[in-house]
Amino acid sequence: MRVKIMIALSVIVLVILNYAVYDKEQIIENGETVLLELAPADPRSLIQGDYMRLRYEIERIFTGNTTIPEAKSSHLIIKPNTQRIAVFQRFDDGTPLSDDEKRLYYHLKYGRIRIVPDSFFFQEGHADKYNNAKYGVFKFDDKGNHILVGLVDQP
């Protein structure tokens, strides 16, 4: 009986994990592309290998600013301009979004806004491709989910 329960639970876990992977693949394949401008940060971590620490220009707008909502995590509302580069509009206050606005998840850490993901891992030996990156390439789906798919140096 225990073996059957373990097998059933294993199958359930595998189905859930496969659905999560499928969902992310759908965002990558069908999502709307939006670029987030990167702010200067240490370009690479030598200790962790081929990995880049990311900071976004939108985060720098609020450095030392007291107008940040006190919620530990919430959403920023961004709107892509004609080059698909995200521009901050407002903090999410529950009002409906216009057709071209997107919700971008953030959390507060030490009084500063942090947009996730804040790191990007790439294939070993490809560091030169990303050293001059100016934008993070995000894909957004209709439900507001997003995923970082790459880094580029021009829009």
- Mean pLDDT by runs of 10 across the 155 residues of the chain is 92 95 91 83 61 84 69 86 92 87 86 84 78 90 87 86
80/124 same-domain check: yes
Q: Are 51 and 121 in contact (CB under 8 A)?
A: yes
- What pLDDT score was predicted for residue 79? 93
16/37 same-domain check: no
2/46 same-domain check: no
Distance CA 43, CA 50 (A): 10
67/17 same-domain check: no
As for how many domains the chain has, the answer is 2
Does the pTM surpass 0.85? The reply is no
Beta strands per DSSP E along the chain? 32-37, 51-53, 73-80, 86-91, 102-109, 112-115, 119-121, 135-140, 146-152
- What pLDDT score was predicted for residue 64? 63
Whose tokens are 């199958």? That residue is 11
114/145 same-domain check: yes
Q: Are 115 and 59 in contact (CB under 8 A)?
A: yes
44/96 same-domain check: yes
- Bond into 80 cis (ω within 30): no
Compute the radius of gyration of the chain from its Cα atoms.
18
Instruction: Spell out a b/e string for 18-46, using b for 16 or more CB atoms within 10 Å of the CB, else e.
Output: eeeeeebeebeeebeebbbebeeeeebee
Q: Are 107 and 27 in contact (CB under 8 A)?
A: no
Q: Which domain holds residue 132?
A: 33-152
73/134 same-domain check: yes
Residue 41 vs residues 22, 53, 73, 100, 146: alpha-carbon distances, Å:
32, 7, 23, 29, 22
41/112 same-domain check: yes
19/41 same-domain check: no
48/88 same-domain check: yes
- What pLDDT score was predicted for residue 48? 63
- What pLDDT score was predicted for residue 50? 72
- What pLDDT score was predicted for residue 46? 60
